[in-house]
Structure 1
Amino acid sequence: MTRSFKPYPFAPRHYEGAAPPLIDGNDPVRRPVAIVGGGPVGMTLALALARQGVRSVLIEADDSVCTGSRAICISRRSLEILKRLGAVQGFLQKGLPWTGGRSFYRDTEVFRFTMHQDDEQSLPPMINIAQYQIEQFLLEELERHADLIDIRWQTRVTGIEQSDGSDAERGATLALRTADTAWRMQADWVVACDGGRSTVREALGLKLTGTTYEGRYVIVDIALHSERATERLAYFDPPSNPGSTVLVHKQPDDVWRIDYQLRDDEDPQAAIEPDNVIPRVQSVLDAMGETGEWSPIWITVYKANALTLERYRHGSILFAGDAAHLVPIFGVRGANSGIDDADNLGWKLGCVVNGIASPDLLDSYSEERVFAARENLSYGMKSTEFMAPPTFGFELMRTAVLGLAEHHPAVRPLINPRQTHPIAYVESPLNRVAADCVQAAGAVPVASRFASGPAPGSVLPECRLQRISDGKTVDMHVTDLLLPCFTALRFGTDASQDAEWQRTRDDLKSRAIPFNTITVVDTNVKLGADSTAVIDHSGRLHHMLDATPGTVYLIRPDGHVLARWRDGTAAATHSALIAALNIRSKERQS
């Protein structure tokens, strides 16, 4: 069957590769941070560092943003991160928001799910947007920070050697090649964001561990105009592709993504030949009732992996994104977990480079994000084993569930794709050091004082708030309050503590520690026209945080709760923050 390919409705800019001015093959400028890999994770990390005034160099082997849709679903959590970094607007303008999806068994709908969405949310639960568009929007934001971010296109890592010694002497030397020029660069810190086939990981001899699934999926991007609503569509054993599982996502610019499972006896290389792909796609579209003209754009094959490194920090070299972990596509945790890695690492590495935190703070990055990876892998494996059963037993179970689901609602949740969600760092070492600090000061343990609300390690929930500006009431959200800094939320106005809070702000400012305080009041408090307080007009935030007058929540730069007090003080907040920044690793404690 003949059908011509169509290009993406996107023309990327291509960049020349050039080494910096060299002395005897060496870059004479020692870099604070070198980021290997210019995909969504590396770019997000560079932005997070720039927001703290930290210079970085981004090393990218290609000459432009990626080709192919690749990662296509960006979660609310990732959008919150991008909002904090000042890069979300393009995503919201271009992306297609969606709130749920439907699953079909043969030709019958058997499950429908809806992600949380209400008027309190400032961002959709999910948007569909192709990875080349993701990278383009991030690149445009990077170029606005050209004074802090140096991008080295068409540059490959050919080796890496790590320095031994004290924290002050720590660093690494990267062997690089740009066109015909081989050169070396020294950096205090190197972050590997160079994907599933990480050159840095291979150079260090590190191995991912976990589960690799035998089942393969063909991924096809097509050009098709349709008025169909944006939602996740899953087809199990459809009449159009018997024995297969098919996923369908609508993307911006009349691009559609279709993923379908190959049979065990199919050759993956033959399966991606256009003459084999086009009839399969046509059968899917026919079953959906899509009659418009369409053209293929991009075809590739995918194999599910559930793998992770045991640690994400190895001396002065750190790992993030697919270089650190490979998560199955089901539940859209791949790019989203990588963006979360960059958000977590960005503020910590920035504090270390700026000299306001112990390098041991970076061990908490590894502990927290390895924990998150194992959570993501757990959910991803469950979804994979349902979407592409690895054994006859799983196949039998899935067939039984799908067959019963039409008439038995109780089994339908087993079809749930388990979409990505914010992960609470319940066992974070930062939680422990903050709690120890509070108890040492004679405060009552936090756990015994709150009946509900986000515990330390959890992400702060979203809701609507108000603020007085020029005598007018302005609507806003919790996420509008969070900047790339530590934030203390003070509930109620206790003027007797204002002087102490001012001393805390002054001290942290003198140490160059980014910190902000926000007073949150209910509607019973009368505010002047120039008040900086935030109004919880519905009482929702008080309820969600189990807050009463005097309550204080200390929020990390990544939006996770660091500590909370029923009767908080500036002194306790100051102590917890300083203790977290000066945390000592388990190895040093021992």
Structure 2
Amino acid sequence: MRPEGRDEHDSLYFTYPHFDAPGPDAPRGMEVPVAIVGAGPVGMVAALELARHGQRCLLIDAKSSFNDGSRAICIARASYHILDRIGALDPFLSKSLPWTTGRSFFRGRQILEFEMPDGPDDRFRPMYNLQQQYIEQYLWDAVARTPLIETRWQTRLDGIDTRAGGPTLGLTDPHGTYAQPARWVLAADGARSAIRRMLGLRLKGENYEGRYVIADIRMTHDYPTIRRALFDPACRPGGTVLIHRQPDNIWRIDYQLAPGESAEEATREDNVRASVAGVLDEIGETGAWELEWWSVYSANTLALDDYRAGPVFFIGDSAHIVPIFGVRGLNNGLADAQNIGWKLALVLRGEAGEGLLDSYTPERRGATLDVFANASKSARFMTPPSFGWSLMRDAALSLALRHPWAGELANPRQMAPYRYADSPLTAPPVTDGDGRAGPLPGPLPGAMIPDARLDDGFLSQRMGPVFTLLSFGPAPDISHPLLTCLSLPPHSAWDAPEGSTYLIRPDLHVAAHWTRPDPRAILDHMTRILDHS
């Protein structure tokens, strides 16, 4: 929503582009390898991942511009590695605001200051703030310069038929309606997914009572880029307020609605202005400000039972909806896009069997359930669902005024990327065989690799385009068309025994670890991943 007199794309700081529909003579109806429905951040990352591996795709969106409002603003370190892999990184680094610190307050007194893990071996900071308009603009710039991606704006999905052969989409643009066949479809069409509805699928899970108004304002304010959480502040008794700095002097203020408070009333412009003024008074900010945009949000943990329906794969909010606490919504969706992107690309290239695609749901739904487990705890703390939860939450916060350990309960961060421990692509952890309990030091199979500073940059910059075989010591004598071999001396960031060899996937997750690498064992595991059996 925008202030009275401004339309949905009339921003104080961002100029929205306008995208024309395909012309009347544009080719329509020729089969495409992959059709992606939804040109938001998740859909564009999927397209760029496919293109990175040399595969064509069609990107479809009913809109004529980007999504309105700042929406998702927190991008995690792991997502910056994705942006790097797809060739879209530079503008993100130039514009976004990195941060490492969070502060929590209870009734006006600070109870916690936390630092997210960060060190000299990390190429990127733990978190960056950037409005979604810029996220979409920078991804679009990368899409527009990629000839393998065809984009059709102002093109609405009216139906999908998956009954015979490959899927066929029914599409409508200003020049008419037509059938669009594809080999595969990626549903990146958001929380209200039309594809999900057309296929008779529904999200399942838990709806929380907590509702928030999210409001962006423009003001000059010298507080650093630190996430602030205010519990039971005077401006919203019993509620929670979150405050984030964004580029261009834009500040995001999220404030919880009280039980029984009407969302319709709360989102009236005069009420939003009054609520924002109350928050600013709470933090001692007395300068001038302008209202930019606002919306309302509910905390839910919802997901499909299966992220695949035949030739259709669901990515991002079409597959799952997670609470904002822990900032895993957008970041989870980008990981979905990368995960299915490289797998589909290898299948389309004839370098992997379709069995590889069976790993998508267990990996990415597993990641969603892990988010749910952490976010549910945070959601109950941030938005207590009952009087009893509220009583316990406030008791813990009161303890935090005197005991620092209790303040950690107010820390919702979930920083580590999900480990694909139970994936069919992941080998079991290696032990030393001498009765030692547990795996050897170093990253476990399934985990995302730690980065490491090298003499000429960072380890993540040395990874091959598809799979990488990383050896700490002499590399085994092995050759495979999808494999880049890399040999390094032991590095403290990995804590891996000398002689260790790791097979690393295109998404920088460890597939397998050997202490005595045998070329046959490595090739056998590659075959297992690529499903050439």
Per-residue CA deviation, residues 92-114 of structure 1 (Å, 9 max, x unaligned), is 11000100111111111111111
Q: Out of 466, 470, 479, which is 1:485 matched to?
A: 466
Counterparts of 1:456-535 in structure 2 under 5 Å? 456-466=445-455, 474=456, 476-493=457-474, 497=476, 500-501=477-478, 504=479, 508-509=480-481, 514-521=482-489
Is the 8 Å Cα contact of residues 84 and 482 (structure 1) preserved in structure 2?
no
- The structure-2 alpha-carbon separation of the partners of 1:545 and 1:57, relative to structure 1 and needing over 3 Å to count, comes to farther
- The question of 1:151 aligning with 2:151 is answered yes
Equivalent residue number for residue 191 of structure 2: 196
Aligned equivalents of 2:483, 2:518: Cα separation in 1: 15
- The question of 1:453 aligning with 2:421 is answered no
With the length of structure 1 as denominator, give the TM-score of the two structures: 0.86
Q: Out of 489, 495, 498, which is 1:548 matched to?
A: 498
Counterparts of 1:175-574 in structure 2 under 5 Å? 175-432=170-427, 450-466=439-455, 474=456, 476-493=457-474, 497=476, 500-501=477-478, 504=479, 508-509=480-481, 514-521=482-489, 539-541=491-493, 544-549=494-499, 551-574=500-523
Equivalent residue number for residue 71 of structure 2: 70
- The structure-2 alpha-carbon separation of the partners of 1:375 and 1:447, relative to structure 1 and needing over 3 Å to count, comes to farther
Equivalent residue number for residue 100 of structure 1: 101
Equivalent residue number for residue 43 of structure 1: 44
Instruction: Please tell me the residue identity of whatever aligns with 1:521.
Output: P
Per-residue CA deviation, residues 22-42 of structure 1 (Å, 9 max, x unaligned), is 89xxx3411000001111110
Is the 8 Å Cα contact of residues 209 and 307 (structure 1) preserved in structure 2?
yes
Aligned-pair CA distance for 1:119: 1.4
What is the number of residues matched between the two proteins?
A: 528
Aligned equivalents of 2:472, 2:168: Cα separation in 1: 49
Deviates more, 1:171-180 or 1:47-56: 171-180
Is the 8 Å Cα contact of residues 493 and 519 (structure 1) preserved in structure 2?
yes
Instruction: Please tell me the residue identity of whatever aligns with 1:137.
Output: Y
- The question of 1:11 aligning with 2:15 is answered yes
- The structure-2 alpha-carbon separation of the partners of 1:445 and 1:352, relative to structure 1 and needing over 3 Å to count, comes to farther
Instruction: Please tell me the residue identity of whatever aligns with 1:330.
Output: F
Instruction: Please tell me the residue identity of whatever aligns with 1:361.
Output: L
Aligned-pair CA distance for 1:449: 9.6
Aligned-pair CA distance for 1:241: 2.2
Instruction: Please tell me the residue identity of whatever aligns with 2:448.
Output: V
- SS in structure 2 of the partner of residue 429 of structure 1: coil
- SS in structure 1 of the partner of residue 136 of structure 2: helix
Aligned equivalents of 1:571, 1:583: Cα separation in 2: 15
- SS in structure 1 of the partner of residue 302 of structure 2: strand
Aligned-pair CA distance for 1:21: 4.9
Instruction: Please tell me the residue identity of whatever aligns with 1:157.
Output: L
Aligned-pair CA distance for 1:450: 4.9
What runs of 5+ residues in structure 1 fail to find an aligned partner?
165-169, 467-473, 523-538, 585-590
Aligned-pair CA distance for 1:163: 3.5
- SS in structure 2 of the partner of residue 217 of structure 1: strand
Per-residue CA deviation, residues 112-157 of structure 1 (Å, 9 max, x unaligned), is 1110111111101000000111010000011111x20001101111
Aligned-pair CA distance for 1:447: 9.8
Aligned-pair CA distance for 1:179: 2.3
Aligned-pair CA distance for 1:410: 2.5
- SS in structure 1 of the partner of residue 59 of structure 2: strand
- The structure-2 alpha-carbon separation of the partners of 1:4 and 1:92, relative to structure 1 and needing over 3 Å to count, comes to same
Aligned-pair CA distance for 1:287: 1.7
Is the 8 Å Cα contact of residues 441 and 497 (structure 2) preserved in structure 1?
no
Aligned equivalents of 1:22, 1:99: Cα separation in 2: 48
Is the 8 Å Cα contact of residues 29 and 179 (structure 2) preserved in structure 1?
no
- SS in structure 2 of the partner of residue 157 of structure 1: strand
Report the structure number with the largest CA radius of gyration: 1
Aligned equivalents of 1:310, 1:445: Cα separation in 2: 41
Identity rate of aligned residues, in percent? Answer: 44
Equivalent residue number for residue 55 of structure 1: 56
Is the 8 Å Cα contact of residues 24 and 175 (structure 2) preserved in structure 1?
no
Aligned-pair CA distance for 1:545: 4.3
Aligned equivalents of 1:80, 1:124: Cα separation in 2: 11
- The structure-2 alpha-carbon separation of the partners of 1:484 and 1:291, relative to structure 1 and needing over 3 Å to count, comes to farther
- SS in structure 1 of the partner of residue 212 of structure 2: strand
Instruction: Please tell me the residue identity of whatever aligns with 1:517.
Output: C
- The structure-2 alpha-carbon separation of the partners of 1:90 and 1:261, relative to structure 1 and needing over 3 Å to count, comes to same
Is the 8 Å Cα contact of residues 464 and 483 (structure 2) preserved in structure 1?
no
Aligned equivalents of 2:414, 2:92: Cα separation in 1: 19
Per-residue CA deviation, residues 325-383 of structure 1 (Å, 9 max, x unaligned), is 00001110100000111111111111111111111211101110011000001111111
| Higher helix proportion | 1
- SS in structure 2 of the partner of residue 564 of structure 1: strand
What runs of 5+ residues in structure 2 fail to find an aligned partner?
none
Aligned equivalents of 1:445, 1:155: Cα separation in 2: 62
Instruction: Please tell me the residue identity of whatever aligns with 2:373.
Output: S
Is the 8 Å Cα contact of residues 209 and 383 (structure 2) preserved in structure 1?
no
Instruction: Please tell me the residue identity of whatever aligns with 2:454.
Output: L
With the length of structure 2 as denominator, give the TM-score of the two structures: 0.95
Aligned-pair CA distance for 1:83: 1.1
Q: Out of 492, 509, 526, which is 1:577 matched to?
A: 526
Is the 8 Å Cα contact of residues 463 and 484 (structure 2) preserved in structure 1?
no
